[in-house]
Chains A and B, each alone.
Chain A
Amino acid sequence: MKDVDGPEHSPSYPYRYAEQYSPPEPERVSDVAITTFEHVYEVDPRLMQRWVLQQTFPNWDSLRIMASRQDHLDWMHRHFATTVINGSALLAEVNAEDEANPPSTAAPQQEAPQ
């Protein structure tokens, strides 16, 4: 496979076409989805054969989309509040307090009709 971009254009990281179009071997994660890179999920290609055809993305673009999504979410947090409180830390405190002082085992009060 021929490189589409030689080292003279990008000395620090040559762009190799074959590399970019060879994502990690997909793993099935559910009946309808597969995963390639960590946190990158795709619809099972068998479900995208008639009305919407699956597109092939170069690896750098898949990873860019993942990273930019996280950037966007981080920006949104900063926009709405100065800090984000870590829920798992609060849950750990609640569990520790419950362990030290066990709550009643009574079921929660049912306050509305089902």
Chain B
Amino acid sequence: MTLAPERLSDQRVADVVSALRSVLRDDQILTSKPDRYNRARVPAPFPVHRWAERVPDLAVLPETTEDVAAVVRIANELRVPVVPRDGGTGLTDGAVPLRGGIVVDVKRMNKIHELDLVNRTVTVGTGISMLKLNEQLARHGLFYPDDPASYPCSLVGGRIGTSGWSLIGSRYGHTRDLVLSFDHVLPTGDIMHVGDGIGRKITKSSSGYQLKHLFMGHQGTLGIATVATLKLFPKPEAELSPFWSFDNYDDAYACVGALARAGVATFAGAVLFDEYKVAYLRRDDEAYIPQPGDVRALVCAAMYGYEDEVRPAGKRLFRIAKEHRARYLGDEISEGDWAARHDRYATPLHGRTKAGQVVPMSWHCEDAAINYANLPAVSREWHAIVAELRRKTDVFDDWGMFAYTNSVTGADYLTEIDVGIWEQHLDDAAWELWVKAKRDLAAVSLSYGGSISACHGSCREGEVDLVPQELGRGFQVMLDVKRTLDPNNIMNPGKYLLDGAYAESGDDR
């Protein structure tokens, strides 16, 4: 159940603004309705009639780590919630203010502070996007390979706060592997540098606790990353992204497993599209509308590297696909569909009623980390859950599933089910159905030994209820860490059931 937001009174907002003026310029403090509503927007669907619950009381635009620290210090003193916001592209509502307060919008902290060509690192403000960063790096033949589906619009700081997943992570690693270190403002306003050891550019240290991972993926509940040092690679000389079709799911499933297990060094990832996904594409995607009826499942693979590496490796993968009765879909679809995968947030979406009429729908994606051996069973159970939703109402439409390799060995997959949601018709009853479905999807993942999320995080209504079950004793450690670092529960309150850290001590904020 959603907690009702505890809004600041007008007088308290005025007091906060007055205090902020001692550390920020007027143009860095935003209080107008458009400024605040624009910073409540996130992609995950939510009932339209309840959007006002998620609007901050004000927003600030810091330009330095010291600005951020000063804002957080004031918020901590005044006991005002603080919510970090980067690209606002996350799918688990990390950037959504559940209790009003101050949104810290980091987009002005978007400078490249240092490019170290010798050690192959770059140090940036966390408000920069990977696309803009790579435009600069390309001049030096370099590349920062953090590649989410929101590549053009998500920011480095959000990737740290969510511990993001990268499409080409099987080759280069995910955000946690690519970020070497960062400056971080704690909920008390103290500034800390966190990485492997104390070094800014060290890739592996065994000194002390490994704190870097603790301050990644916390969804803004443990502070705000401000300046990050990133690992760089040569810009790939060559890309290969073959797409293959299959006349049945089982062959496609066997093929994707074989491709991932092949151990090809330039292998950046493989994706399995199930029958439901192909049916959805056949309805609405110009590449798949004309495909023959026996195209029922798809697999793609991506490789990056030098041309003389990728060519022979590509032939190896083509041979594996051929052994699994794959049909190559051609260069145009292969190249075009892969290129479009870097930018899924630009896709206009619509779904269908059960009668077949087109309706405007928002996209939502539920994800999990599932071992390869369990993909078919989890897929069946997830589709049954969404089918049950659809039987009850036209608000939901099953847009099929993808499974992306989570790492180079193919042990587990980022497993996603895309669900179209007719937000204008998402009333309280439909929302309750959706929250229950999300809880059920998460329960299936856990029953197969998976994790509730490989990519998005798990702090939205529904799946968050099962986080204590997934983490066990570890969830109590989470509560202890939260209470220790954020004694006044000001940092993104209401997320991840962390309010429980304060209820236990009788200090329920």
Could you tell me which A residues sit within 8 Å of B by CB distance?
29-30, 32-33, 35, 39-41, 43, 47-52, 70, 72-74, 76-77, 79-88, 90-91, 93-94, 98, 103, 108, 110-114
Note all chain B residues with C-beta closer than 8 A to A88: 328, 330-331
B323 within 8 Å of A by Cβ? yes
Q: Report whether B372 and A112 are in contact in the complex, using a CB–CB cutoff of 8 Å.
A: yes
7 additional A-B pairs beyond A74-B339, A80-B339, beta carbons within 8 Å, are A35-B290, A43-B358, A52-B360, A83-B237, A90-B242, A108-B254, A108-B323
The interface centre, meaning the residue of B242, B331, B339, B373 with most chain A CB atoms within 10 A of its CB, is: B339
B28 within 8 Å of A by Cβ? no
CA A83 to CA B24, docked complex, whole Å: 47
CA A74 to CA B338, docked complex, whole Å: 11
Q: Report whether A29 and B318 are in contact in the complex, using a CB–CB cutoff of 8 Å.
A: no
Closest Cβ of chain B: how far from A69's Cβ, in Å? 8
Closest 3 CB pairs of A and B: A81-B239, A76-B339, A73-B339
CA A87 to CA B304, docked complex, whole Å: 13
CA A102 to CA B319, docked complex, whole Å: 12
Closest Cβ of chain A: how far from B291's Cβ, in Å? 9
B153 within 8 Å of A by Cβ? no
Question: B255-298: which have CB < 8 Å to A?
Answer: 257-258, 261, 282-284, 286, 289-290
Give the residue of A30, A72, A79, A86 whose beta carbon is less than 8 angstroms from that of B134: A79
CA A49 to CA B358, docked complex, whole Å: 8
Q: Report whether A85 and B282 are in contact in the complex, using a CB–CB cutoff of 8 Å.
A: no
Note all chain B residues with C-beta closer than 8 A to A70: 336
Note all chain B residues with C-beta closer than 8 A to A81: 235-239, 304
Q: Report whether B359 and A51 are in contact in the complex, using a CB–CB cutoff of 8 Å.
A: yes
Note all chain B residues with C-beta closer than 8 A to A41: 286, 289-290
Give the interface segment out of B175-183, B189-197, B308-316.
B308-316
What are 22 A-B residue pairs whose CB atoms fall within 8 Å in the complex?
A29-B290, A33-B283, A33-B289, A35-B290, A41-B290, A49-B357, A52-B358, A76-B342, A77-B335, A77-B339, A79-B134, A79-B135, A81-B237, A81-B304, A84-B240, A85-B307, A87-B318, A88-B328, A90-B311, A91-B242, A108-B324, A112-B373
B73 within 8 Å of A by Cβ? no
Q: Report whether A76 and B358 are in contact in the complex, using a CB–CB cutoff of 8 Å.
A: no
Note all chain A residues with C-beta closer than 8 A to B352: 47
Closest Cβ of chain A: how far from B397's Cβ, in Å? 12
Binary CB contact string for chain B from 346 to 363 against chain A (1 if under 8 A, 0 otherwise): 000010110011111000
Give the residue of A50, A94, A110, A114 whose beta carbon is less than 8 angstroms from that of B315: A94
B250 within 8 Å of A by Cβ? yes
Secondary structure at the B interface, as helix, strand, loop or mixed, is helix
Q: Report whether B240 and A30 are in contact in the complex, using a CB–CB cutoff of 8 Å.
A: no
Note all chain A residues with C-beta closer than 8 A to B242: 87, 90-91
Q: Report whether B358 and A51 are in contact in the complex, using a CB–CB cutoff of 8 Å.
A: yes
B204 within 8 Å of A by Cβ? no
Q: With A29-B290, A77-B335, A113-B373 given, is the CB distance from A90 to B315 under 8 Å? A: yes
Q: Report whether A47 and B343 are in contact in the complex, using a CB–CB cutoff of 8 Å.
A: no
Closest Cβ of chain A: how far from B308's Cβ, in Å? 11
Note all chain A residues with C-beta closer than 8 A to B135: 79
Q: Which B residue sits closest to A41, measured CB to CB?
A: B286
B376 within 8 Å of A by Cβ? yes
Binary CB contact string for chain B from 369 to 393 against chain A (1 if under 8 A, 0 otherwise): 0001100100000000000000000
Give the residue of A49, A52, A76, A90 whose beta carbon is less than 8 angstroms from that of B240: A90
Closest Cβ of chain B: how far from A56's Cβ, in Å? 16
CA A81 to CA B235, docked complex, whole Å: 6
Note all chain B residues with C-beta closer than 8 A to A87: 240-242, 314, 318, 328, 330-331, 334
Note all chain B residues with C-beta closer than 8 A to A50: 357
Closest Cβ of chain B: how far from A30's Cβ, in Å? 6
Q: Report whether B336 and A30 are in contact in the complex, using a CB–CB cutoff of 8 Å.
A: no
Q: Report whether A77 and B239 are in contact in the complex, using a CB–CB cutoff of 8 Å.
A: yes
CA A22 to CA B372, docked complex, whole Å: 51
Note all chain B residues with C-beta closer than 8 A to A51: 353, 357-360
Note all chain A residues with C-beta closer than 8 A to B254: 108, 110-112
Note all chain B residues with C-beta closer than 8 A to A77: 239, 335, 339
B213 within 8 Å of A by Cβ? no
Q: Report whether A91 and B131 are in contact in the complex, using a CB–CB cutoff of 8 Å.
A: no
Note all chain A residues with C-beta closer than 8 A to B52: none
Closest Cβ of chain A: how far from B371's Cβ, in Å? 9
Q: Report whether B359 and A52 are in contact in the complex, using a CB–CB cutoff of 8 Å.
A: yes
Q: Which B residue sits closest to A53, measured CB to CB?
A: B358
Closest Cβ of chain A: how far from B322's Cβ, in Å? 7
Q: Which B residue sits closest to A30, measured CB to CB?
A: B289
CA A47 to CA B336, docked complex, whole Å: 27
Q: Report whether A80 and B239 are in contact in the complex, using a CB–CB cutoff of 8 Å.
A: yes
B340 within 8 Å of A by Cβ? yes
